[in-house]
Structure 1
């Protein structure tokens, strides 16, 4: 019965990336190059080759100095322009995202100023506009990066599948706590080191190796299914710690895309990491709750018999696909 439950959870997880494809965030970047003048970059994701119907609208007091120029990437459309908001800049000005309320897409807004301050805000469909505020206080920075951390881990399906693989691999409750804790500590260390510039690794190879770590975990799950033993099965927390160091670089890459406010860098880094841990615990709680719920259901005997092998092979197949896809992307 437990095997069939794990299979159903694996199939559910494998379907998440497809659903998430529709909710990739749009992105607006505003860089102040002179007093009141900004370089604007507006990126909207493509869905099945079509642009999401979201339009950018600036307040009436903001004039376009250089007309928009569009370029198309594989997964998004990029629009660049130069705007002038006057001597007061963008503070107090409203930017609207027409059509956002009818979608499931968020918009990440990043504003950098001449004084070196940097703010990032996530705009949701429920409130499809943003009013640019002055340099935010510590509480605002902490709240924003806490939310960024939670949303990043819940949208990072490779990280979630690795955690799910740990749940498949470790059945002992106390050992599971040690294993998840080791993974958390490890990626917290490399997240901090990479973000602060102490260690640097190129992003594409890191992402490919993260996929490989899931594949290796699937191999160990298959060994467990055959009642074999290995170092990973005996010391899963050690392996989780080693792979966690790798996953931390993946988190750092995502954080670099958001941008850290230099004035509140330690606070932003800390709260982002806390958000990642909260999101990870939420995921573990949901998986374990669904597992207990499904255990109460009566499933056919064939499903119970073949569930665990299918689960491990399904996890490995998806990880292998990601690995070759990511390797080919930076080798081409």
Structure 2
């Protein structure tokens, strides 16, 4: 396998990445069931209007409950909101709740159950497990675990956040320098995430998504043009560049959380654990990328720079497509 074969293989691998994937493709459905008075519950179901769930999904309510009156449906942004009133003749603990049609979709659903006289419960439904049994778990550990997993999945499945971190690893040398730079990125996106979620900051989502894609193009160009004897701007001040772009990426994370929904009364905990999950996901990306570069350096050192360049070109091509797609949409 010569250098050009390696380059071709890497380019094809990147080309097969989902080019239409958005930064915040994670758009799970959200169900919130709140007991208003003993035996009387309100249920809110939110799903993307473009998803299979939003168009034909159906809620599986606990067996001790029945629907009172007619469901009320309305559009809110890109989502369909369905509101129900339920009358339950017994405790919902030990009962099942779920979504018909979830097994045919590619998304998850978050379920929040808030009884008057019991602990809050947050469960997660998946295509493999579209129905869950309600128990009496610790509210704190339940919310924390759920949102931490969401944070990990969001950075790993949100391709432009992933590409940005990967480009930083390709550009910089030294584990300590990479760690400081990724930390600056984390601090920045945490600030805008919290500020936006609490209503202190706001920017239109479409321009933000376009600039996020543009930030990846910028880093890809920096990787391609980097020379050992001529440090690029992002190599001289990597933490500053990462911090500034991280502020924009934070708006992207906030948009995802807005779509997912935050449990009332547990917003600080959900924000904290979501951020921790994102940080864990970033560290996983860095660790895997550094391990791959180290293995390549040990096996075929002469392939290292061509492989970096090929990966940067692939990332840059996909990100350029995103810039055009989001700008014209």
Give me the TM-score of the superposition, normalised by structure 1: 0.75
The worse-fitting range, judged by mean Cα deviation, of 54-63 and 179-188 is 54-63
Correspondences of 1:108-257 after superposition (within 5 Å): 108-110=110-112, 120-132=122-134, 137-224=139-226, 228-257=230-259
CA distance in 1, matches of 2:125, 2:136: 17
1:244-284: CA deviations, max 9, x gaps?
Answer: 11111211222222322342332222111111101111121
The worse-fitting range, judged by mean Cα deviation, of 147-156 and 174-183 is 174-183
Counterpart selection for 1:38 from 39, 42, 49: 42
CA distance in 2, matches of 1:125, 1:3: 41
CA distance in 2, matches of 1:112, 1:203: 31
Q: Is the 8 A contact 1:118 1:259 kept in 2?
A: no
CA distance in 2, matches of 1:3, 1:237: 33
The worse-fitting range, judged by mean Cα deviation, of 159-168 and 11-20 is 11-20
CA distance in 2, matches of 1:136, 1:10: 47
Q: How far is 1:114 from its partner?
A: 8.9
- SS of 1:324's partner is helix
How many residues align? The count is 323
Instruction: Return closer, same or farther for 1:16/1:112 CA change in 2, 3 Å cut-off.
Output: farther
- SS of 2:64's partner is coil
The worse-fitting range, judged by mean Cα deviation, of 282-291 and 318-327 is 282-291
Instruction: Return closer, same or farther for 1:52/1:194 CA change in 2, 3 Å cut-off.
Output: closer
5+ residue gaps, structure 1, are none
Q: How far is 1:243 from its partner?
A: 0.8
Counterpart selection for 1:63 from 45, 62, 66: 66
1:286 match:
288
CA distance in 2, matches of 1:275, 1:304: 31
- SS of 2:88's partner is coil
Give me the TM-score of the superposition, normalised by structure 2: 0.76
CA distance in 2, matches of 1:16, 1:111: 37
2:86 match:
84
1:313 match:
313
CA distance in 2, matches of 1:5, 1:295: 14
CA distance in 2, matches of 1:193, 1:174: 29
- SS of 1:327's partner is helix
Q: Is the 8 A contact 1:190 1:246 kept in 2?
A: yes
CA distance in 1, matches of 2:111, 2:4: 44
1:27 match:
29
5+ residue gaps, structure 2, are none
Q: Is the 8 A contact 2:26 2:158 kept in 1?
A: no
Instruction: Return closer, same or farther for 1:139/1:81 CA change in 2, 3 Å cut-off.
Output: closer
The worse-fitting range, judged by mean Cα deviation, of 102-111 and 200-209 is 102-111
CA distance in 2, matches of 1:40, 1:8: 48
Q: How far is 1:12 from its partner?
A: 4.2
Q: Is the 8 A contact 2:27 2:256 kept in 1?
A: no
Q: Is the 8 A contact 1:66 1:81 kept in 2?
A: no
The answer to whether structure 1 residue 17 and structure 2 residue 21 are counterparts is no
The worse-fitting range, judged by mean Cα deviation, of 192-201 and 51-60 is 51-60
